[in-house]
Chain A
Amino acid sequence: DIQLTQSPSFLSASVGDRVTITCRASQGISSYLAWYQQKPGKAPKLLIYAASTLQSGVPSRFSGSGSGTEFTLTISSLQPEDFATYYCQQLNSYPFTFGPGTKVDIK
């Protein structure tokens, strides 16, 4: 199985900050990576697919990059509604594993 790690697991940031989350895969997954945002008590919401393609309706302050084994999610200017947990997911091969998540909290 392909393992995903995320760093950091937790980060405290202020409104307006630039935030970067890294996701690393245990083997190459090309660009078969998606990013989701999850708020407490809610289902995950797709932000980015194919490593760098912004889902329709998602604000342009979110961006993704990377391929192979290393990927990043960047929020260019953190907004109050962005405080949530973020997960990466590989969709290269079954089982479609998720990273452990990065919780973004208010400083």
Chain B
Amino acid sequence: QVQLVQSGAEVKKPGASVKVSCKASGYTFTGYYMHWVRQAPGQGLEWMGRINPNSGGTNYAQKFQGRVTMTRDTSISTAYMELSRLRSDDTAVYYCARMVVAANNWFDPWGQGTLVTVSS
């Protein structure tokens, strides 16, 4: 079955960087864009950006431009999201999600989420 499994929770200090991984299985990794979405505690969903695993091309939300880098390793069907210069308001659960493109678009499935806590 199609599955996305993310890396474990992280605790970081302000100013540090974090790199979250998302391992895909059950489908052709290079055939679907991978998106990243975050959710601060008690808040809604916020789209961060996406990567085309085939070409490596990316598209980031303006809010995160200059701080986020999305990469992939096709040999192990894994996507990565690295966020730098962390602040306390970056504390959130970070999700990866596969985008299906047909006549329309949708996200399915989602990874289980990775909690990133930024605290001094």
Contact = CB atoms under 8 A, between A and B. Distances in A.
A87 B106 contact: no
Given A44-B45, A98-B46, A34 B103 contact: no
Contact of A31 (B95, B104, B110): B104
Interface string A21-42: 0000000000110101000000
A22 to B, nearest CB: 16
Contacts of B95: 43-44
B47 A44 contact: no
A79 B8 CA distance: 33
Contact of B47 (A34, A96, A101): A96
Contacts, number: 61
- Chain B, interface size category, equals 20 to 34
Interface of B: 35, 37, 44-47, 59, 61-62, 95, 97, 99-100, 103-113
Interface centre among A89, A91, A96 (most CB of B within 10 A): A96
A101 B35 contact: no
Interface of A: 31-32, 34, 36, 43-46, 49-50, 53, 55, 87, 89, 91, 94-101
Contacts of A49: 100, 104-106, 108
A4 B50 CA distance: 20
A27 to B, nearest CB: 17
B44 A87 contact: yes
A49 B110 CA distance: 15
Nearest to B108: A46
B113 A91 contact: no
Contacts of B61: 94-95
A89 B99 CA distance: 12
A91 B111 contact: no
